[in-house]
Every structure is written in C-alpha cells, then in structure tokens.
Amino acid sequence: MSVETFMLTGSMGCIGAWTLRNLVREGVRVVATDLATDPVRPRQVMSEEELAQVTFAKLDVTDLNAVKQIVAEQGITHVIHLAGLQVPFCRANPSVGAAVNVVGTVNILEAVRAHWGQVKGLSYASSLAVLGPADQYLETPVRDDAPLLPATLYGVYKQANEWTARIYWQDWQIPSIGLRPYIVYGVARDQGMTSDIAKALLAVAAGRPYHLRFGGPVALQYADDVARIFIETARSGYQGATACNLRNDVVDVGDFVAMVKARFPNAQLTYTADNLLPFPYDLDDSGLKRILGTVPHTPLEQAIDETVVMFKTLLAENLIDLKQLDG
C-alpha cells in the first residue's frame, strides 16, 4: 500500500491533470479534489484504468470545514494546492477571485496546520504574475527575491498567498513552497492567452492553420515537468516558506515556431512578433535547484513531439474539441 496520500486541489485543471497522471503512474494514492466533477482534462492525459485508481471528491476551497475534514478523513500526507481563478475572472469578479485565490489558500494552510505531522509537505501554485513589467527588472536573470510588483488583481492575490505562507512558517513553522509558472504548455492547456503555445501544437496535429497572438522571448514550461516539480517540492522536506521561479526553456516565439516547422514541415503557424507579453522571461531558478537538486526538464523538441503525438491520438479518439482553436 502507498505510504503517501496526496491531496490535489484544482485537479481538473491542466497542471492538476498532469499531476494526477504522474502520481498514479508512480502508484501513489491520490485524492483529486475540485469544484468541477467531470474529469475532462485528466481524461486527455490518462487512461480509464489510471482514472479508476483516483479517489475523486468535490471540494470548494473556500469552505474551511470541508477542507479540514477531507484532510483528516483521507489521511492526507502531502498537499498540492492548484485551485484558482485566472486573470480575466479575477478582474471581472474581484470578490469571488479573492475568496477562491486568497481565502482558499488560507484555508489550505489552516487545514495543513491543523493536521501537521500527518501532513508532511505542501506545495502551491503562485504565478509569474507576482512580478511586474519586464522593464522594472534591471538585474537579470530575475531572482526569487526580486521585488514583487503585480500589475493585476490575480497577481496581487498570488502575492498575498506567498506572504501568508511566510507568516505560517514564521508563526507556526508550517513549511511550504510556492511555485511561479509562466507559460505552461502541453495537452489539456486550453484556456487563456498563453495557451496559444499548446494550441499551436493542437493545430499542427489537426492539420489546421493557427496564429499565436504574441511574440518575443518567453519561458516555456512543459505541463509534465511542472507537475513533477509540484510533486517533488511537496516531498522535499524543505524547512521554511519560499516561492520559486520556474525557468526551463527560454526561447523566442519565432524560434519556437521555426522549431515546430522544422519537425512538422506542414505546420501552418504564424505569430504577432511585436506583441510582447508584459513579464520578465529571463528567470533565475537557482532557488528551485537548491531545493530539488535537478529540476525536471524535458527537452523542448521532445516535449513538442510528445504533445503532437498525444493530440493526434486524442483527435482520432474524438476526445478533444477543436473549437478551442477559434477562441
């Protein structure tokens, strides 16, 4: 029997789906929680046999008692907190955004504090959006402790979480690691502007043209690697509260497109070269390396190939909706 029991929040999201896949393939018991109950994204990256090994539970992270109850009843040993509402939603509904992103994270920390000892590790999703515009960072690569200058409510909420976690260490010695993904790509990444990288690969698999809405240098992080980073940091035994940048592949979108075309000569990809994303891309991940030793990192070419192959299989099985390419 598995000695670990992981609880995921936001397990129906892209990173959640890949985290579930990795844990199940390791043979670890996992309790997959989310407000949503239909495992659409997990089904895109896992077989029915693998899904059958997961304990699914509906959980609203804004409900403190429910969070505490599930941690206690399921004997949770590690928590990976991914539930959150994204930039446009927080902008449109600031109160709900704060309830889920900020209070939800406090509730996770409270539940972990109430059951520390049984719970041995916590990693949670912060975001690169805690940083300000690239031109604010004269010193590069940008370190974990560079000033946080979020330019969106979403970024402000994530910043609040990083500081809340620090106080949980200061006052109660509850350790945690926050991770700051930038552009996560792979199967099941289907929402938001930065999902254009994943959608470009879906379009290649479908033989359709696709236009990426941005250009310039970015940091690309393969969803499978990001999932492993969440798992390994939760297990790391780190003593303290920190928040870490992720780096992996720093490339220009033009070079990414050229790389895809070199591998798939029929790819019909274009991009808006002069629309730059407003974030620093030259990120220092030495903080994460100090904790993990080696940061999981699939070579970009291999991740591109894997993703196109997976998308082709999903298309053949009618498990993916091409409507996402229109939005």
Ligand X SMILES: NC(=O)c1ccc[n+]([C@@H]2O[C@H](COP(=O)([O-])OP(=O)(O)OC[C@H]3O[C@@H](n4cnc5c(N)ncnc54)[C@H](O)[C@@H]3O)[C@@H](O)[C@H]2O)c1
Q: Would you tell me which residues interact with ligand X (CB under 6 A)?
A: 9-10, 12-16, 34-36, 59-62, 82-86, 100, 104, 125, 127-128, 181, 183-184, 194
Return the number of the residue (37 or 239) whose C-beta is nearest ligand X.
37
Q: Is the CB of residue 220 less than 8 Å from the CB of residue 300?
A: yes
What lies within 8 Å, CB to CB, of 201 at 6+ separation is 185, 260, 304, 307, 308, 311
Residue nearest to ligand X (CB): 13
Return the number of the residue (155 or 215) whose C-beta is nearest ligand X.
155
Q: What is the smallest separation between the CB atom of 314 and ligand X, expressed in angstroms? A: 17
Q: What is the smallest separation between the CB atom of 230 and ligand X, expressed in angstroms? A: 9
Return the number of the residue (13 or 215) whose C-beta is nearest ligand X.
13
Q: What is the smallest separation between the CB atom of 11 and ligand X, expressed in angstroms? A: 7
d(Cα 74, Cα 12) in Å, to the nearest integer?
19
Q: What is the smallest separation between the CB atom of 169 and ligand X, expressed in angstroms? A: 20
Q: Is cis: bond before 265, omega within 30 of 0?
A: no
| Single-letter amino acid, residue 290 | R
Q: What is the smallest separation between the CB atom of 191 and ligand X, expressed in angstroms? A: 6
Return the number of the residue (163 or 172) whose C-beta is nearest ligand X.
163
| Strand segments (E) across the chain | 5-9, 29-34, 55-58, 78-81, 121-125, 176-180, 183-185, 210-212, 217-222, 241-245, 249-252, 269-271
Residues listed for the chain: 327
Sheet of 241-245, strands arranged across:
55-58, 29-34, 5-9, 78-81, 121-125, 176-180, 241-245
Q: What is the smallest separation between the CB atom of 157 and ligand X, expressed in angstroms? A: 9
Pairing between β-strand 29-34 and β-strand 55-58 as defined by DSSP bridges: parallel
Return the number of the residue (193 or 322) whose C-beta is nearest ligand X.
193
Q: What is the smallest separation between the CB atom of 3 and ligand X, expressed in angstroms? A: 26
Q: Is 207 left (phi over 0), alpha (psi -120 to 50) or beta?
A: left
Short-list 95, 193, 81, CA closest to 153:
95
Return the number of the residue (83 or 177) whose C-beta is nearest ligand X.
83
Return the number of the residue (16 or 150) whose C-beta is nearest ligand X.
16
d(Cα 283, Cα 141) in Å, to the nearest integer?
5
